[in-house]
Amino acid sequence: MNLENLRNNHPKLISYMETAGYSNDYTGRFRKEIQWILAEADTRDWDCYSDVYRYYEMIPLSLGNLEKKQAIIGAIKEFDLHGKYPDGKWSGLVERGAYSKLAPEFKSLIDYYRMAEQERGKKESSICTESNNASTFLLSLQEAGISRLEDITEEAVMPVFVSPDGEQLKSHNYRKFVSAVLKACIPLNPDTCRKVLSFLPATKEVKKNVQYLTPQESQDVLNTMDDMSNTLTLRDRAIGKLAYYTGLRSCDIATMELSSIDWECDLIRIKQQKTEEPLELPLTATVGNTIYDYLNDERPSVDCPILFLTQKGPYRGMGSANIWRVAARIMEEAGIRQSKGDRKGFHIFRHHLATTLLGNGVPQAVISGVLGHTVPESVEAYLSADLVHLKECALSIASFPVSEVVFADE
């Protein structure tokens, strides 16, 4: 294991971390780990950084400490081999997910699927979702002692989907994803893929009632975002109002750049993460003012194109999970949706915008355009909460001989 580059250049890594705002404790862990690696390398049979990490796997470390070691060693590897400084992203030191554990024949099936669907032009996010689910399916079979496609039986497949007492264990979507992979791989192994497809049991599609903001909750949210005496930051208020008044997805808010705001034309321009289609929305004064306040009074002065940044150094763009936590903070401050199972993400704001527009008689095609749907019919998912028009469908019971006692309080 050649560590000459690390030996000569590791001070640059430490200097970067100190100036980028990493804590002294975290920077110190990097410094200590590098010194230990350099001191021990000559006496240990290490060929790569994965070997360094495996040393810690063999000693009694807690799962939390082991994960910290993995992150640090992975970041050191990226700096040493590729010149990359820490950015909070996965280092690739140890493969994650079911795919890395699959037998060669199962891996080949997933590889063929990915290649075939990429050539067909399927979205990478869809390929990733389907291949990940198929990998977990194959891993379940592998853990049952099957490592070849031709050895898969219906008896082995059924326990993946159904418990011994008949309870459905996997969702309808899970079956759909596994099926998509097997169908795409029919040219690779026609007979076997068709056989396994026939083993997939029918699954019930469960549709849950969609929670929506009540008028009172909506007002509580708006009051909370306007109340400057609570703990919400300017960033949180800007993100909250952006989500509330535009219905943007969390992933789109997270990836917005400074250039996404056209101050001259009062427009928001983004490329949607889900559909990869452009979307242009009006920048209202309510939203624009809160974003301006954040930019002018709170946003760190760093060279980063992302609009909304983390609030602690090293400053970088927020992820979708960070955006979800902003939504949760707003609802906590508003004192709403605190029961177990309540929806707290910004998708409920998107749902609220759609149902409000529907209730006000805005055509579905216009609403689809605002929400960035590529298929106008997508807005139909929000019809179940369009209470204004649903009430118009109610039938009068005045002609039926129903006693008022039926409706009396007990």
Catalytic residue positions, numbered: 249, 274, 347, 350, 373, 382
Instruction: Report phi then psi at 282, rounded to 5.
Output: -70, 145
Query: Strand pairing partners for 78?
Result: none
DSSP string, 277-299: -EEEEE--HHHHHHHHHHHHHTS
Distance CA 264, CA 296 (A): 17
Cross-strand partners of 162: 168
Across the beta sheet with 278-282, what order do the strands follow? 261-262, 267-271, 278-282
* Tokens describing residue 303: 């060279």
**CA 176, 180, 182 angle in degrees (round to 5)?**
115
Which one, of 331, 380, 328, lies nearest residue 354 by Cα? 380
Both structure tokens of 121: 């032009």
Distance CA 379, CA 368 (A): 6
- Residue 380 · residue 389 · CB < 8 Å: no
Q: How far apart are the first and last CA of the chain?
A: 80
Residue 50 contacts residue 78 (beta carbons within 8 Å): no
Radius of gyration of the chain, Cα coordinates, nearest whole angstrom: 27
Tokens (6 digits) for 90 = 């996965």
DSSP 332-383: HHHT-S-STT---STHHHHHHHHHHHHHTT--HHHHHHHHT-SSGGGGGGGG
- Among 187, 95, 93, which residue's Cα sits nearest to residue 132? 95
SS3 37: helix
Taking 3-state DSSP, the helix, strand and coil percentages for the chain, each rounded to the nearest 5, stand at: 60, 5, 35
Burial group, residue 79, by CB count within 10 angstroms (0-12, 13-18, 19+): buried
Q: For 304, how many CA atoms within 13 A lie in the half-sphere containing its CB? A: 20
